[in-house]
Homo-oligomer: A and B are copies of this chain.
Amino acid sequence: MTFDLSPLLVEDAVRAALAEDLGRAGDVTTQATIPAGAGAKVVIAAREAGVVAGLPLARAAFAFLDPNVGFEAWVADGATVAPGEIVARIEGSARAVLSAERVALNYLGRLSGVASLTALYAARISHTKAKVCDTRKTTPLMRAFEKYAVRCGGGANHRFGLDDAVLIKDNHIAVAGGVIPALRAAKAYVGHLTKIEIEVDTLDQLGEVLTEGADAVLLDNMRPDDLRRAVEMIGDRMVCEASGGATLDTIVAIAETGVDLISVGALTHSARVLDLGLDIGIS
């Protein structure tokens, strides 16, 4: 499977990040010390093992400052790399390469960090049918990219925003007057291509959901025993997601209960950056 990023989102994001870094006066160090005509050949290499994500953003960063830059990806997004492995080779204006370096690495390192952490979670539960999935706990203005990185790391995507699916939570249930009125209100409101998921805390609530019907149910903070019982109750009538408390340590037990999905906020809110370096030779 290939992974895709809208070129419009990539361009807007990279341009904004370059503007953030270049400010009003531009890269004063490079302008002072590097001749306008100098060229550079560069490699981006992994300094630790991980999964790469974000190459289109890195490519765009260099291309904005040198439209004729050569950018050769040696691996594709989603590839696992070993320490020292070359990720991409760039050739172009030395000024452009040096000025774009940080923006390129900031995107690539962050997204590869998300992909790498996702891959770690995914590996733990690969013997089960469960998949790890992301949440809306993403970095502001980075959601499309972070969710792409989750796919690169072998995870699944939850909804992209408040508008592309219904997720009825405890507060909605409380105001709506219960599980059944909340589900009915949602069904009356949305079109036929919008899915409806509902959060439950107890097996009693789950019973109500099964009576009324929904596309998916989120089992919130249940212990493995209850999860297992919930899975049995649900059968194949709806998708079943476990949420809350999943860490690299606990996820195996959760996955083995038979749930379909395990959502993990940490994939996007607490991933470390993947250590990538740019080694430059000025030509």
Residues on A facing B (Cβ under 8 Å)? 1-2, 4-9, 13, 15-36, 38, 64-65, 94, 98-99, 102-103, 105-107, 109-110, 113, 133, 136-144, 147, 156-169, 171-176, 182, 185-186, 188-195, 197, 215-216, 239, 241, 260-261, 265-266, 269-270, 272-273, 280, 282
Contact = CB atoms under 8 A, between A and B. Distances in A.
B109 A269 contact: yes
Nearest to A42: B171
A24 B161 contact: yes
A5 B27 CA distance: 10
A75 to B, nearest CB: 16
B147 A25 contact: yes
A41 to B, nearest CB: 12
A162 to B, nearest CB: 4
Contacts of A162: 21-23, 26-30, 99, 102
B28 A189 contact: yes
A92 to B, nearest CB: 13
A4 B261 CA distance: 31
Given A94-B175, A164-B164, A166-B28, A21 B136 contact: yes
Nearest to A65: B7
Given A144-B25, A158-B191, A272 B269 contact: yes
Contacts of A18: 8
Top-6 shortest CB links A-B: A32-B189, A23-B163, A165-B193, A25-B163, A17-B140, A27-B162
Given A26-B163, A98-B171, 20 more contacts: A2-B36, A8-B15, A23-B24, A23-B163, A24-B143, A32-B185, A32-B186, A32-B190, A34-B175, A102-B137, A102-B162, A105-B137, A110-B140, A133-B191, A133-B192, A139-B142, A158-B192, A159-B193, A193-B215, A269-B273
Max count, chain B CB within 10 A of own CB: residue among A22, A28, A174:
A28
B273 A1 contact: no
Contacts of A173: 33
Contacts of A176: 33-34
A189 B21 CA distance: 19
A63 to B, nearest CB: 11
B28 A190 contact: yes
Contacts of A34: 172, 175-176
